[in-house]
């Protein structure tokens, strides 16, 4: 993935936030490499599992999606970044999604989330046992939420 030095620095910062927050809540590493390095950024970007995150705004927008998440949602990076994350669920699934996000806000993370999501093409897919966690900075400030999806199947 070719990026400008500034974009690489931003990716390294966000990769570190995702990885450090994941470790804070779960006690486990998300990737093997140091997330502050180009190798760490590449490892997460090309991981065999999907990782996506959104910011902490009232109507959160996606601010990260690795290649597996892009493939899962059938989008290009410039289509998903900035998209309200509520669009990842069908209108009928919004209450369930809101409940999940509130549970994560209160508990810090959950590792048992299952639910139906929708790709850009309209394809519905079931995610099972996803980990969803609060993204925090070094001072503990809430920066958003992220999801790790290892298991999914078309519905």
DSSP 37: S
**CA dist list (Å): 147 to 67, 111, 124:** 14, 10, 17
Contact 146, 53 (CB under 8 A): yes
| Predicted local confidence at residue 140, as pLDDT | 94
Give the total number of structural domains in the chain.
Answer: 1
What's the CATH code of the domain at 55? 3.30.450.20
| Residue 48 domain boundaries | 5-154
* Closest alpha carbon to 88 in 125, 58, 46: 125
3-state secondary structure 68-136: HHHHHHCCCHHHHCCCEHHHHCCHHHHHHHHHHHHHHHHHCEEEEEEEEEECCCCCEEEEEEEEEEEEE
| Predicted local confidence at residue 4, as pLDDT | 73
Residue 2 main-chain phi, psi, to 5 deg: -90, 130
**pLDDT tens-place values along the chain, 155 residues long:** 456 777 777 888 999 999 999 999 999 999 999 998 889 999 999 999 999 999 999 999 999 999 999 999 999 999 999 999 999 887 777 788 788 788 888 899 999 998 899 999 999 999 999 999 999 999 999 999 999 999 999 99
Tokens of 59: 């109507």
Contact 34, 43 (CB under 8 A): no
């Amino acid at each position: 993935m070719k990026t400008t030095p500034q974009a690489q620095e931003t990716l390294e910062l966000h990769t570190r936030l995702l990885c450090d927050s994941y470790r804070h809540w779960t006690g486990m590493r998300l990737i093997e490499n140091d997330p502050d390095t180009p190798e760490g950024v590449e490892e997460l970007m090309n991981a065999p599992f999907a990782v996506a995150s959104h910011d902490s705004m009232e109507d959160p927008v996606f601010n990260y999606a690795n290649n597996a998440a892009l493939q899962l949602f059938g989008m290009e990076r410039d289509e998903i970044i900035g998209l309200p994350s509520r669009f990842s669920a069908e209108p009928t699934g919004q209450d369930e999604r809101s409940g999940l996000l509130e549970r994560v806000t209160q508990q810090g993370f959950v590792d048992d989330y299952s639910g139906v999501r929708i790709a850009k093409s309209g394809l519905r897919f079931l995610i099972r046992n996803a980990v969803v966690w609060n993204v925090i900075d070094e001072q503990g400030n809430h920066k958003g939420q992220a999801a790790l999806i290892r298991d999914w199947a078309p519905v």
